[in-house]
Amino acid sequence: MVFANSDRSRSGPHVVPTVQHSVKILVVGAFGVGKTTLINSVSEITPLRTEETMTTASIGVDSLDGREEKSTTTVAMDFGRITVNPEVALYLFGTPGQRRFWDLWEGLAEGALGALVMIDTRRLEDSFEVFDQLELRTSMPFVVAVNNFDGAPRYETEQLRQALDLLPEVPIVNFDARDKDDSAQALISLVEHALQFSSDEALA
Amino acid sequence: MGGPEEYADHPVRSYVMTDGRAHPSRNTIRPETLLVADPDKPVPLSASHRQRALLDVCGGVLSLAEAAAYLRLPVSLVVVLASDLVDSEHLSIRCGAPRHDLPERHVIEKVLNGLREL
């Protein structure tokens, strides 16, 4: 039986039958920034993992035997679910920041409510590519969520905005991904921003 | 083409990626798309073991990503399996994917209210 090894202590594996809509939020950030920690804090199911195989031709490597060199990488995506309403299931997909990873999962970037971009202040540079991709290649609303790691430097919001070169309207929140209420609050900031975004779009 | 070290299901990916899709329904299946098997429709004799496993796991409502995770198969492969089963009406999509970039406003509002009650 397929569910034999799954953890059913939090909620049954199936979505309640009254649910009519599913919505997704992308939790985006570098490896080790706490994406799965956040998902685990708020998800009603134990976070699940799905993997895709990426084949990439090696660049800058001379082939000695005339064969094209290829390397295969397995990329994992962890995700969780919150039934926010008898009719609506919210999915949280944790994905590395680079766009080539999103494209691995068919339809992942399309139709998302928005993206929560997680930041570790000790490794700000890891997030630069994420913002480039979000701003240049999607029209998705996003919020920056600074995961307050113990011992990580704390910056004023405006200092961070300058360092990350973010527009004034992009919300920046501080939170602890291990804490359920904190994580929920970070998601609420994103959804509020998305609502604002959708009314601006309607007026445009 | 792929040597033995490559993942056995990989060739399917190229098919998914083709723009000349044989079935328009494929465009509507995303990782969060909710699927449910039709309990009254017998499993076709021609169904592969993976299709049977997918119908089994979708005995209740489940997103495509969840089904893929439980079956330990890549999402890209399960999209193809699910599309065929949707076409043959063994599997149905709960509320087809909206055409807009953003979810509808009334749905976003429900998400907001739900998160506030967590």
If you write DSSP's letter for every residue of chain A in order, what string do you get?
-TTTTS--SSS-SSBPTT--EEEEEEEE--TTSSHHHHHHHH-SSPPEEEEEEEEEE-SS---SSSSPPEEEEEEEEEEEEEEEETTEEEEEEEE-SSHHHHTTSTTSSTT-SEEEEEE-GGGGGGGHHHHHHHHHH----EEEEEE--TTPPP--HHHHHHHHT--TTS-EEEE-TT-HHHHHHHHHHHHHHHHHHHHHHHH-
At B43, is the secondary structure helix, strand, or coil? coil
- Say if strands A88-95 and A21-28 run parallel, antiparallel, or are unpaired: parallel
Sign of the torsion formed by the C-alpha atoms of A83, A119, A171 and A169 = negative
Average pLDDT (B33-54) is 92
Q: What confidence tens digit (pLDDT) does each residue in A2-32 have?
A: 454 444 346 679 999 999 999 999 999 988 9
- How many contacts (CB atoms, under 8 Å) link A and B? 172
Q: What is the mean pLDDT of chain A?
A: 86
> What is the percent of chain B where pLDDT is above 70?
72
Q: Is B107 on the interface with A (CB under 8 A)?
A: yes
Task: Give the model's pLDDT for residue A198.
Answer: 77
Q: What confidence tens digit (pLDDT) does each residue in A142-183 have?
A: 999 999 999 899 999 999 999 999 999 999 999 999 999 999
The class level of CATH for B10-116 reads: mainly alpha
Q: Which tops the pLDDT comparison, A186 or B15?
A: A186
Name chain A contacts of B74, Cβ cutoff 8 Å: 50-53
Residue A116 predicted with pLDDT over 50: yes
Of all residues in chain B, the one with the smallest CA distance to A5 is: B70
> What is the percent of chain A where pLDDT is above 70?
85
Residue B108 predicted with pLDDT over 90: yes
Residue A1 predicted with pLDDT over 60: no
Q: Which domains does chain A have, with CATH numbers?
A: 30-58+68-203 (3.40.50.300)
Of all residues in chain A, the one with the smallest CA distance to B101 is: A111
Question: B15 vs A20, B71, B75, CA distance in Å?
Answer: 30, 21, 14
CA distance A118 to chain B (A): 18
- What pTM was computed for the model? 0.85
Residue B44 predicted with pLDDT over 60: yes
pLDDT band at A139 (very low <50, low <70, confident <90, very high): confident
Amino acid at A21: H
Instruction: Report the distance separating Cα A165 and Cα A162, nearest Å.
Output: 5
At B83, is the secondary structure helix, strand, or coil? helix
Assembly ipTM = 0.86
Domain ranges in chain B are 10-116
Task: Give the model's pLDDT for residue A185.
Answer: 98
- Say if strands A114-119 and A21-28 run parallel, antiparallel, or are unpaired: parallel
CB contact under 8 A, B110 and A87: yes
Residue A48 predicted with pLDDT over 80: yes
